[in-house]
Structure 1
Amino acid sequence: MKMWVLILISCWVMISNAAEYQITIKSGEQKRLNHKGDAGTAETHWKLETCEGCKLIMSCYMSSKSCNDFLLTINDGLTVEKHCGPRWSSTVLANSNYNKMEATIKTIGPVQGSFCHVSATKPYTNMEYKEIDSSEFGLGTGAKRQTSCKCGWANKSPARIVGGKETLPNEYPFPVILKIKHDRLPLCGGSIISAYHILTAAHCTYPFRGLKFAVVIGEHDISKSDETPFTKEIDVKETFDHPKYNDDHSEYDIAIALLEEKIEFNNAVGPVCLPNSRTNLLGEYIKVMGWGRTQTKGSSSPTLLKVHLRAIDLSICGSMYSSIDLKDPYQICTWAPNRDSCQGDSGGPLVWRDPETNRYVQVALVSYGRKCGSTDPAVNTDVSYFMDWIRKIISDTVPQEVCV
């Protein structure tokens, strides 16, 4: 009889120290979730929800590094992860997959001080997305304004193109592959901005200082050596990372590669247009292209692929990534359902069709993100912010006209 009494008392203690809360977080709102531990076993469970199209952002502080007395469990709506022990930092960050998530903190003994902060983004995952008929884009027809020099054109058939897979050999003259010299596989992407200069990301060049780079122009399918007569490898003479580049957080993530020899422009190889002013791109469709992976753990694409993303409010990226500067913004936030840039696309161009010129303008370059194709947006370097620096590097090395 005494044993049964002890079991009943033990069960009652566990139940009496368990709490469950259902909380709704409004867009832009932040709340603190407190866990109260005591001498026994305590468990707090939160069911969280926000508006349709919004995402929940959570950061939890773990007051103990031992799995013997502390366990944090987070269900982001897609996966469930358990956090405890020294392999985790004291602060755990997590995002919901869509607009719901759950979290549980369980402690044994006098473990106190654990809490979570949770906030909600502005709505974006329910935004409209439609395929674009771009058969006439970049052909120069119907232009209201001429560019300062020939740039940003596309070589297209008049057929309608859908499904985010438009890429014919040399369809876009400006994307290039950046690679370590003598390596076969691409390292990053880039774009032609003059006959001697390639624009790319600093996180592609900075970690490999001291190594020799090369670029491949006029490429389409890296698995074929004779697919197009315009493919050519050119050595890089020098790379210039932005002086404010921070490798820890990919801040000011932009670089220029100076080539050893001049690119001979033709219809299949030529420069992208650069922005002559800052443009409000919120809600605009932006084309990203590259030879990167088609999924997070997949292999790189042998052919140049492209996809349309939409520019969304930078504050959404700011709520998910710590290195976003909202006071002096130099980045562009993009997202689209089941579409994204991925590893290997870094440094590659994001282009926007300027309705005034009907030419492609490089408004950004691929910087960083999380899991490819997830509901988390991607962060890209805003090219317009760096135009003075770009012009100075070109002027100080091999002066060339910049097409805008």
Structure 2
Amino acid sequence: MTLLWVLLLGLLISCDAGESATGCGKYNQNGLESKIGLIPGGARPGEFPWMMAVLDRRDGLTRYIGGGSLIAANVVLTAAHILNGIGEDDLLVRAGEWNVSTTEEIYGHVDLGVKKVISHLKFNNYSGQYDIALLILKAHFPVQANIRTVCLPSQNTSFVGRHCLFNGWGPMEADSKDYPNVLKKIDVNMIDKTACQRKFGRNVSPYLICAESLNRRASCKGDGGSPLVCPLPNDPSRFEQAGIVTYGIGCGTFRTPGVYTDVSRMSDWINYHLHRWNIQLGQRKL
């Protein structure tokens, strides 16, 4: 009987690993069924199933503080700056969210607590360098239509010239205090470091990458930690995470540059900490 259980467990693990290996970054192009209509500039329900909402639940309240991405069933990748010293017991991560104004969606969200916050020890709040953190969760998110992992890029991947996008629940306009109910979708074009530094008028860390908005919306306060994702060159139905929203110049302006933590440059750091927690990411099969 013991041997049978071992064999069954091995089969389950191998099946799970196979799904992880082939299923990362798969988005729902046409969205999922919803009871609520779409809005201009908004994502479709469940379109980007790796998008996470990071919540602060101090004082008995639940406040949205930024975004994140699901990179393993129990690991969220986000920006260090949004955490601002908040401890594990005061954090909550929400998967499967789309419209924050209702709980009656057909595909509901799932909330999990945080077991461990791992922020980069060299994070510099002024320059944005090493603006990265991992949230190890207390349990695993279920695999369902609106909850899946995003792919991570190979080390030192260049995204210059590629058309990418990011999501978030940050305001649509600069200085606005109104946060949208529905997850937004912002198209960007990746630009090289020289053009980026010229627009900012200062040096940009080697661990950061830049993109400019392709419409009248850009990253705003509240979008920090959200994933910047790009379709795979040989499979546009799947996405890999190029960056993490770090900072920008204002928001809501056409061609406004945004600066993002370069996920490919941080792959060694990510893998080191996942190894310490005995967490493995499936290898992409392309």
TM-score (norm 2): 0.81
1:315 matched residue in structure 2: 194
Residue type matched to 1:309 in 2?
Answer: V
**Is residue 380 from structure 1 mapped to residue 228 from structure 2 by the alignment?**
no
Secondary structure of 1:389's counterpart equals helix
1:57 matched residue in structure 2: none
Secondary structure of 1:387's counterpart equals helix
Residue type matched to 2:50 in 1?
Answer: F
1:302 matched residue in structure 2: 181
Q: Name which of 139, 147, 151 aligns with 1:273.
A: 151
Aligned equivalents of 2:216, 2:148: Cα separation in 1: 31
Alignment of 1:138-153 (within 5 A): 148-153=21-26
Alignment of 1:387-398 (within 5 A): 387-398=267-278
Contact in 2 for aligned 1:274/1:403 (Cα 8 Å): no
Residue type matched to 2:141 in 1?
Answer: I
Q: Name which of 112, 118, 125 aligns with 1:234.
A: 112
Contact in 1 for aligned 2:218/2:256 (Cα 8 Å): no
Cα shift at 1:168: 1.8
1:257 matched residue in structure 2: 135
Identity of aligned residues (%): 30
Aligned equivalents of 2:282, 2:134: Cα separation in 1: 14
Aligned equivalents of 1:340, 1:154: Cα separation in 2: 22
- The structure with the larger Rg is 1
1:157 matched residue in structure 2: 30
1:335 matched residue in structure 2: 212
CA 1:154 to 1:196, structure 2 compared with 1: closer, same or farther past 3 Å? same
Number of aligned residue pairs: 252
Aligned equivalents of 2:27, 2:157: Cα separation in 1: 22
Cα shift at 1:172: 1.4
Contact in 1 for aligned 2:225/2:244 (Cα 8 Å): yes
Cα shift at 1:357: 3.2
Secondary structure of 2:64's counterpart equals coil
Residue type matched to 2:70 in 1?
Answer: I
- The one of the two structures with greater contact order (alpha-carbon pairs below 8 A, sep at least 6) is 2
Aligned equivalents of 1:355, 1:247: Cα separation in 2: 33
CA 1:203 to 1:274, structure 2 compared with 1: closer, same or farther past 3 Å? same
**Is residue 195 from structure 1 mapped to residue 73 from structure 2 by the alignment?**
yes
Residue type matched to 1:149 in 2?
Answer: T
Deviation by residue 1:245-266 (Cα, 9 ceiling, x = unmatched):
0123321111111101111112
2:49 matched residue in structure 1: 173
Deviation by residue 1:228-273 (Cα, 9 ceiling, x = unmatched):
4430111111111112101233211111111011111122211001
**Is residue 224 from structure 1 mapped to residue 106 from structure 2 by the alignment?**
no
Structure 1: segments with no counterpart, 5+ residues: 1-145
Cα shift at 1:166: 5.2
Contact in 2 for aligned 1:238/1:257 (Cα 8 Å): yes
Aligned equivalents of 1:247, 1:156: Cα separation in 2: 36
Cα shift at 1:323: 5.3
CA 1:147 to 1:311, structure 2 compared with 1: closer, same or farther past 3 Å? farther
Deviation by residue 1:350-371 (Cα, 9 ceiling, x = unmatched):
1100122331001111000121
CA 1:309 to 1:164, structure 2 compared with 1: closer, same or farther past 3 Å? farther
Alignment of 1:336-355 (within 5 A): 336=213, 337-355=215-233
Aligned equivalents of 1:317, 1:209: Cα separation in 2: 34
**Is residue 360 from structure 1 mapped to residue 245 from structure 2 by the alignment?**
no
Aligned equivalents of 2:147, 2:23: Cα separation in 1: 11
Cα shift at 1:403: 4.7
RMSD of the alignment, in Å?
Answer: 2.3
Structure 2: segments with no counterpart, 5+ residues: 1-18, 32-38
Secondary structure of 1:271's counterpart equals coil
Aligned equivalents of 2:209, 2:72: Cα separation in 1: 23
